[in-house]
Structure 1
Amino acid sequence: MTHSSPIRIFVADDDPDDRLLIRDAFLESSDFLYLTFFEDGEGIMSGLTTSSRGALPQLILLDLNMPGKNGRDIIAELKADSSLRGIPIVILTTSRNEEDIAACYDLGASSYIVKPVSYEELLEITRSLTHYWTKITTLPGQSESYV
């Protein structure tokens, strides 16, 4: 089962090197994605609130520890907004702190992934995410888009 249109993924990470690595790994994992990157929490929230309903992402990949609005703030805002709460949120962060992990799941994160140390591990993660979110699950706005 495959989606007939690319999956839109919004990625928020304040580290430019991480954004570049994440982009490269996703592009190597699949050419059936539409990626939009943001440097911080304010940027992704602005992108989400100015997107038309058809341009909203089907998945959000979110760094936890960013200046200004951090990942926890963003999860809370998204889950409080009825038009955005259905978008799955995957946390991709360096934090292994049990309190961070529990807080993210309590707020409504769909998954929590600790950033790997090697590009090969990141590539494995992006391949798994791409497979799971494009082949296995049905995302908002995709239920009638199968071929």
Structure 2
Amino acid sequence: MSHTLPIHIYIADDDADDRLLIRDAFLESAHQARLTFYEDGETILQGLSDALATRTLPQLILLDLNMPGKDGRQVISELKADIAFRHIPIVVLTTSGADEDIESCYSLGASSYIVKPVSYDGLLDIVRSLKHYWMETTVLPGKNKHYV
């Protein structure tokens, strides 16, 4: 199944270089996605509150785990505890491959956990996989709505 409308993805990552690489990989491999970037857990939570007020929630969240202030675990916990946001799938995209991080994220309600690759080609492969699964295969909540 292929969707015709682009999906809106919120991405929180405190590393400016990683945000740039992620943006470039999406432009190259999944250009139909609409991306909104945030630098930390606090700003993505504020962005989600703002989106709720305008009824323009994203269909997917990519979330770094280790960020200053509210980290990815805290963001997952808060979003999954709130009925307005718990339906949004959260994909953790982080450098940590530690078992305790993986287990805690799934326990909190993460939909997927991906360890960031060391190469740009590896990132392109991940974005292609994300595109295939989350944009072409899976039906996401809010996907059939038109966003401004």
TM-score when normalising by structure 2? 0.94
Is 1:140 the equivalent of 2:103?
A: no
The amino acid across from 1:76 in the alignment is S
The amino acid across from 1:4 in the alignment is T
**Cross-structure match for 1:90:** 91
Q: Distance in 2 between matches of 1:42 and 1:143?
A: 28
What root-mean-square deviation, in Å, do the aligned CA atoms of Structure 1 and Structure 2 show? 1.4
**Cross-structure match for 1:74:** 75
Q: Distance in 2 between matches of 1:49 and 1:85?
A: 13
- In the alignment, structure 1 segments of 5+ residues that lack a partner are none
Deviation at 1:31, TM superposition (A): 2.0
Deviation at 1:54, TM superposition (A): 3.7
Q: Distance in 2 between matches of 1:143 and 1:8?
A: 12
Is 1:20 the equivalent of 2:17?
A: no
**Cross-structure match for 1:99:** 100
Runs of 4+ in 1 over 6 A off after TM superposition: none
Aligned residues: 145
The amino acid across from 1:140 in the alignment is P
Is 1:60 the equivalent of 2:96?
A: no
Residues 89-143 of structure 1: CA distance to partner in whole angstroms, max 9, x if unpaired? 0000011111000000000000000000000000000011011111100000125
Deviation at 1:58, TM superposition (A): 0.4
Q: How do 1:29-48 residues align onto structure 2 when only pairs under 5 Å count?
A: 29-48=29-48
The amino acid across from 2:93 in the alignment is L
**Cross-structure match for 1:127:** 128
**Cross-structure match for 1:118:** 119
The amino acid across from 2:143 in the alignment is Q
Q: Distance in 2 between matches of 1:71 and 1:126?
A: 20
Q: Distance in 1 between matches of 2:7 and 2:86?
A: 17
% of aligned pairs identical?
65
Corresponding residue SS for 2:68: coil
Contact 2:5 2:144 in 1 (8 A): no
Corresponding residue SS for 1:10: strand
